[in-house]
Amino acid sequence: MIKVLIAEDQAMIRGALAALLAIEDDIEVVAQVDRGDGVVEAAVKANPDVALLDIEMPGQDGITAAAELRKRLPSCRVLILTVFGRPGYLRRAVDAGISGFLLKDAPPDQLAAAIRRTARGERVVDSQLALAALSEGSSPLTPRERDVLAMSTRGASVEEIARSLRLTNGTVRNHLSIAIQKLNARNRTEAARIAEEKGWL
Amino acid sequence: MIKVLIAEDQAMIRGALAALLAIEDDIEVVAQVDRGDGVVEAAVKANPDVALLDIEMPGQDGITAAAELRKRLPSCRVLILTVFGRPGYLRRAVDAGISGFLLKDAPPDQLAAAIRRTARGERVVDSQLALAALSEGSSPLTPRERDVLAMSTRGASVEEIARSLRLTNGTVRNHLSIAIQKLNARNRTEAARIAEEKGWL
DNA sequence: CTCTGGGCATGACCGATGTCACGCCCGTCG
DNA sequence: CGACGGGCGTGACATCGGTCATGCCCAGAG
C-alpha cells in the first residue's frame, strides 16, 4: 500500500484528487493539507511514501515545501502536480530534490501511474516540459534585477520600488532597463510578463 | 439519475471531478469536454440535466458557452465551477442564465449537493461571493475604455493600441487616463490589474 | 594580486505617459 | 428640441520611464 499526502489549496480539487486515488487499490491518501507551510508537519505525523504537492499555495510554495520535506523526511518522495508548465519551476523543483513533476493537463490515469513510479524510486517528468526547461536555460536575471522586476508586476512606480528596496531612483531604473534588454521586452510590463511566464519571477 | 456534463480544460482535474461524482449513486457523468466551444455540441448529443462548466477554457469561455447552451438546450441547467471568485464573473454568469456558481475553494461534498439542487431547479450561489458582487457593483468602464485597458495588460504601448484599434494616439491616452482615474490606480499597469481582479476585463 | 562581474549611484537625454482644456459628432432620454 | 454622455480628436504641459556613459565598492576567480 502506497501512502500518499495531498497538498492543494483548492478544497474541491483536493477532494476530487483524493477520490481519483481512492479508486486505486494500492494507494491510500493518509493526509490532506491546504497550505504549503503545513506540509512538513502533516508529513511527519502521517509518514507518507509520496507527497503530492501543488506549487501555488498560500503560506509557502510547493517547491520550498518540497525542499524542507526532503530534509526532514528523506524517506518521503515528492511529486509536484501543477497547472503551470513553467521551465523555471521545473528547474527549481529538481534542485529541491523532487522525484516527479506532473501537469494538471496530463491524463488522469497518469496520476496513479506517476505515484507508483515515484514510490518505486523512479523519476517522473513530462518529456515536453523537460525539453523546454533545457532549451530555455535558467534565468538570466541577477537577484537584484529579479527583485526590482517582481515589484513592478503589480504596477508599482520606480519611486515606490526604490523606497521599498532602499535604493536610488536611478539604480532601480538601471536594473529595470537591463532586465528589459535581457528579456527582449519593450517595457517593464512586458518584461515582467515574460519573466513570470517562464517561472523566473 | 442526474445526467451531468463536465467542461474543464485540465484533463487531470476533469478526471478527478468525474471520479468525485462517480461516488454518488444518483449522478452520472454522460459527457466530458476540454474546451468551451465544444460544450453545446456535446450537450446536444448527451442531453445532460446539468452542465458543470469551468470559466477559463480554450476556444470559448464558460460564461459564453453557458449563454449559448441556454438557448440551444433550455432543459439543461448550468452550474459554473471556477477558481476565480471575481464579482464581474458572477454578474456576467447570472446574466447568461446560469443556475449556480461554485468555487473550487468550496468543500468537495458541496459539488454533489450543488448539482442536486441545480437539477431540482434551485439556484446555488456562494453567499460571500454574491455579497461581493452586489457591493462591487458592475464595471464603471465604458466599452471603449475596457478595450483599451485590456490591450495594455500585455505591455502594449500607446501606439500599438492606437494602431490596433484604429484610433489616435491621443484618444487612447484619454481613455487610459479616464480608466486610471475611475479605478483609483496610479498608472495603466495597476489599472489593468485592478480591472482584471474584479473580472471587468 | 589583478581581473571580472554584480550592486549601487549620478547625470543627462529624449521619448512615452498621464493630465487637462477644449471641441465635434451622434444617439438617447426627458 | 435641448441636455447629456460616450466616442473621438487636438494641442499643450509636466512628469515618468528607458537608455547610455561613467564611476565606485566589493567579493570571488584566476
Q: In this structure, are B168 and B130 located in the same domain? A: no
Residues 6+ apart with CB under 8 A from B8: B14, B17, B32, B33, B34, B52, B54, B57, B81
Among all strands, which nt has the closest C1' to B162 (CA)?
D8
Residue range B95-134, pLDDT digits in tens: 889 999 999 999 999 999 999 999 999 999 988 787 777 7
Sheet of B124-125, strand order: B27-33, B2-7, B50-53, B77-82, B100-103, B124-125
Please measure the distance between the N-terminal and C-terminal CA atoms of chain A and give it in whole angstroms.
39
Of B20, B157, B189, the CB nearest to A16: B20
For residues B88 and B8, state if they share a domain: yes
> The CATH number of the domain where A44 resides is what?
3.40.50.2300
How high is the pLDDT of residue A81? 95
pLDDT per residue as tens digits for the range B58-102? 999 999 999 999 999 999 999 999 998 888 888 888 888 999 999
Domain boundary among A90, A114, A135: A135
CA–C1' distance A137–C12 (Å)?
Answer: 36
Supply the DSSP symbol for B36. Answer: G
Residue found under cell 464579482: B87
pLDDT of residue B34: 96
pLDDT of A38 strictly over 80: yes
Q: Which pLDDT score, from 0 to 100, does residue B39 have?
A: 95
- Do A101 and A182 reside in the same domain of the chain? no
Final residue before a domain boundary, out of B88, B103, B136: B136
Instruction: Put the strands of the sheet holding A124-125 in their side by side order.
Output: A27-33, A2-7, A50-53, A77-82, A100-103, A124-125
A159 and A88, same structural domain?
A: no
Question: Does A147 share its domain with A130?
Answer: no
Confirm if B132 and B85 have CB atoms less than 8 A apart.
yes
CATH code, A147: 1.10.10.10
Is A140's pLDDT higher than 90? no
In sequence order, the 6+-apart residues with CB closer than 8 A to the CB of A51 are A4, A5, A7, A39, A43, A66, A69, A76, A77, A78, A79
pLDDT tens profile A42-58: 999 999 999 999 999 99
| Mean pLDDT value across chain B | 92
What pLDDT shows up at residue B148?
A: 92
Q: What is the grid cell recorded at A29?
A: 491518501
Burial class (CB in 10 A: 0-12, 13-18, 19+), A100: buried
* A131 band by pLDDT with thresholds 50, 70 and 90: confident
Q: In the prediction, which pLDDT does A143 show?
A: 85
> Does A154 touch chain B if contact means CB atoms closer than 8 Å?
yes
ipTM rounded to 2 decimals: 0.83
- What is the mean predicted confidence (pLDDT) over B11-23? 96
pLDDT tens for each residue of A142-175:
888 999 999 998 888 898 899 989 889 989 999 9
Residue numbers of B between 2 and 21 with CB closer than 8 Å to A: 9-20
- What pLDDT, in 10s, does the model give residues B144-181? 899 999 999 888 889 889 999 999 999 999 999 999 99
How far the first Cα of chain B sits from its last, in Å, is: 39
**CA→C1' distance for A140 and D27 (Å):** 20
Residues B154 and B64 in one domain: no
Cα torsion B79, B83, B86, B88 to 10°: value is: -40
pLDDT over threshold 90, residue A114: yes
pLDDT digit string, tens, across residues A169-188: 989 999 999 999 999 999 99
Same domain, B77 and B147: no
Structural domain for B15, as ranges: 2-136
pLDDT > 80? residue A134: no
Confidence of residue A189 (pLDDT cuts 50, 70, 90): very high
Residue in chain A nearest B188 by alpha carbon: A155
The number of folded domains in chain B is 2
A72 and A147, same domain (yes or no)? no
User: Measuring CA to CA, how many Å separate B104 from each of A9, A11, A59, B47, B96?
Assistant: 9, 6, 18, 25, 20
Cβ contact (<8 Å) for A12 and B108?
yes
Q: Which residues of B touch A58 (CB under 8 A)?
A: none
Residues A131 and A152 in one domain: no
Q: B164: which residues sit within 8 A by CB, 6+ positions away?
A: B151, B156
Task: Indicate whether B176 and B92 sit together in one domain.
Answer: no
